[in-house]
Amino acid sequence: MQLHQIQPKHSLQRKHRIGRGGKKGTYSGRGMKGQKARAGAKFLPIIRSLIKRYPKMRGYRVQKTFPAFQIVSLLAVEKAFKVNEVVSPASLLEKQVVSRFGGKLLPIKILASETMAKALTFEGCKVSKNAKILIEKAGGTVKA
């Protein structure tokens, strides 16, 4: 047997021609008007693969929003620092009290806890009114 002698096992089935009358009805399963209803309409939705993929992509529905401040409690600062040390954004990052958001170090705001025992100096951090009162009671200072 030669390659040119090979025959298909079954006969080829002719494609049914739609839109030529007959039992298929008035619109013949093509809907009404438009590009897809016309004869010879062979357009591929190239963007379809992208559109179908969007809902499954990571973070499709989550919009990244960065907070205005990174909030730190006085209690966490007191645990990390020793007496008379300077508390600044760089030192807080170094002691791993705060972390970076998207590679950026956000402005830091210190909020009050119940008590403050250590005298610390705060530089370059925003401080709430109650936290400032507690820091000054403990003998610390707040510099803008």
Domain boundaries, the chain: 70-143
Q: What is the pLDDT of residue 72?
A: 94
DSSP string, 41-109: -----TTHHHHHHGGGSTTSSPPP---S-EEEEHHHHHHH--TT-EE-HHHHHHTTSS--BTTB---EE
What pTM did the predictor assign? 0.55
Handedness of CA 38, 43, 44, 45 (dihedral sign): negative
Q: Percent of the chain, pLDDT > 70? A: 94
Q: What is the pLDDT of residue 81?
A: 93
Is the pLDDT score of 80 beyond 70?
yes
* Adjacent-strand bridge partners of 110: 72, 127
For 43-62, what is the mean pLDDT? 74
Tell me the CATH class for 70-143.
alpha beta
Strand pairing report for 108-111 and 70-73: parallel
